[in-house]
Structures are given as structure tokens and as C-alpha cells.
Amino acid sequence: MSEFAIFVGAIALVVGIIRHGGPALWGGLVLCALGVLEFTAREHFSGFRSHTVMLAAVPAVAAEALITLTVGPPSVRLLLFIPVAGVFAVCAWFLRRRFMVARQARLARPVKRETAS
């Protein structure tokens, strides 16, 4: 399903770029982002491939947007960087630990091999 969302989002994104903005552009961006986020989260939490940095960036960007919308853009950019970096670091630490647990569980599972009869 996520591959379909990425495909449809890419089509909407191209239509939005051709029309120089509008709802198709934003819808395409959101749909592509949700599809990619679901796909990478599925791979990460199953222990297949680590996507720690990308998954940790999502709440960090959300925190930055929330701070900017509620407080406004600070005059000193470092004041915005400090809480966003903290959110990123905490999320990256938890996500990396979760991936290592899932990776160990994935490697510890016995592989079922079919025998020739």
C-alpha cells in the first residue's frame, strides 16, 4: 500500500509542479512523505534495515514547526536548534535501541529450509 501511495503522490507532485503550486503539490508532498515514512518504519521496526536518522528527523521537524507556530521564529536561531536537537537525539537513541532488538530477534529466528524429498 505504501508503494501505491508513493506512486500516486509522485503523480500529484508532478501535476502540482506543472501547475506551479496548489493543492496537488501539497497533497503529493504529504502522500509521498506518508508512504515513505510507513515503508521505512516497517523496515526499521522489523529489523531489516536501519532508518534511525530519517525516522528521528520526523519528530524533530514536527517539534520545530510546533515551536515556530506557537512562539514564532526566534531572533537567535540557536534557541530553536537546542530543543530540536534534543528531540532528535532522544528519538534517535530510542529508535536505534529498538532496531537493535528487532535485528537480534530477526537474526535469532530459525530459517525454515525446504528439504528435497
Report pLDDT for 72.
79
Asked whether the beta carbons of 37 and 64 are under 8 A apart, the reply is no
Domain boundaries, the chain: 1-45, 48-110
Residue 61 grid cell? 521537524
Asked whether the beta carbons of 58 and 94 are under 8 A apart, the reply is no
Q: Which residues of the chain have pLDDT under 50?
A: none
Report pLDDT for 116.
63
Report pLDDT for 110.
66
Neighbour tally for 90: CB within 10 Å: 13
Report pLDDT for 42.
92
Sign of CA dihedral 69, 85, 103, 49: positive
Report pLDDT for 38.
94
Report pLDDT for 107.
84
